[in-house]
Structure 1
Amino acid sequence: MDLTIELSLAELRQVAAYAVACALPALAVFERERPDDRRPRAAIDAAHAFADGAERTKALRDSAWAAHRAAQETRDAGQAAASDAARAAGHAVGAAFLHPLAKATQVKHILGSAAHAARALELDAGDDPAVGADHIARSTTLASPVVVDVLRHYPLAPGGGGRVGELVRELDASLR
């Protein structure tokens, strides 16, 4: 049986603001590859608006799905860095829908934007893990005490997930 976590709207807004700040540096990677595709930027803009007080609506979910479709399309086109950048944007807006269930899988709603952005930046730099590590270190400094407190209510990040999963676990460990 899963434990329920009490999450306030203010906490969700702080998590979303953190996710936006982590995803934003990778957006340029996507926009360089697909300058006419605004879906990831729209997702980040929607997440930012939520963090600033906008309502949680179906439009937020729709923008997350649209960013994830952009990620699939770029992945299928062989644009791996752009794909992870779009996925970071999708996770940023998805942070508004963090579930109050004490499941390890929910950690990606908090840290997924940072991990996918780190991977996008790594790939963009010729698959340089030092670039990803640098983004994870910056993402650690961006986390407010509220974000860290929310994260600590959840179990540790789950195993698996390839390089992005590794980055999630590195960030999780550094924040706890």
Structure 2
Amino acid sequence: MGTFERIWLTLVDEFSDLSEIEQITRTGLRLCLAVLLGGVLGYERENQGKAAGLRTHMLVTLGAAMFVMAIREGSAQADAVSRVIQGIAAGIGFLCAGTILKGSRTSEVKGLTTAAGLWLSTAIGISVGLGHSATAMLGTLLALLVLHWLPGLAERNHNTADSQGDDRHVP
């Protein structure tokens, strides 16, 4: 056997996890979807001037999807997949904890929404990795509603309450 043949067989063996076009397509689509959905959330966060933005959310969803896909493709049992998901959920907690800042008063806490968004991005990545793409897309849509639409609604209600409150104090 020649050198070229040995190298070729080594490469084929090394990349055997993606040996069929169906596997390549499924893996590529899932990883791209994870990046896309993380990017959607990250773009919204970056536009709001938050610390964890586009790249962070994309990497979190991609990483979560890859962890789950790697263990699932290895034909792992359900309990092994469950342990991986538990590890991902615990591990993202450290990243999220780093985004939370507490001020001198108890009421001065910043970064909780950023932490929750990263936690949700992890769940979205896990969903994509498990092949639950529709669930991941619905979760992303709901997150956008909560992050983008809900604050405007709350502000409108607050402004309405303030204006009604001011009217009551007028003699």
TM-score (norm 1): 0.37
Higher-helix-fraction structure = 2
Whose Rg is larger?
2
